[in-house]
Amino acid sequence: MVASLAIFVSDDKISKISMMVARLGYIFAIVSGAMLFSYAYQENAMQTIIKVVLGIGLIGLIEVAFAKKKRHELNVGFAFVVIVAIILVGLFGIHLAGGYPFVH
């Protein structure tokens, strides 16, 4: 959510702050991903490995978007690709967790 704010907001100061908060959010994403890995790997190893690769790729994609934003080269199409990727990787993680926390 913070990454989308950093990408779409036009104020440079708010954008920089949002980028830093998003980068701190990577720590949460990595820790929760490690917890998910230990849970989901036993159930579905291949999907878990795919999720890890997608998660790392997503962090890279967000960083590319941040770099394009700083150089004023970010277009709306790429920004929406990033947002859709964030949603899809999140939904894939929820699928691997068996719907937790939404189902339980």
Long-range Cβ contacts of 64-70 (<8 Å, 24+ apart): 65/3, 65/7, 66/6, 66/7, 66/19, 66/22, 69/6, 69/7, 69/15
pTM to 2 decimal places = 0.88
Residue 78 structural domain: 2-96
User: For residue 103, what pLDDT is reported?
Assistant: 67
pLDDT(20) > 90: yes
pLDDT above 60: residue 104: no
Number of domains forming the structure of the chain = 1
Q: Is residue 22 part of a domain?
A: yes
Cβ(16)–Cβ(91) under 8 Å? no
Task: Evaluate whether residue 104 is within a structural domain.
Answer: no
Alpha-carbon span 93 to 77, nearest angstrom: 24
Q: Could you tell me if residue 53 is inside a domain?
A: yes
Residue 21, in any domain of the structure: yes
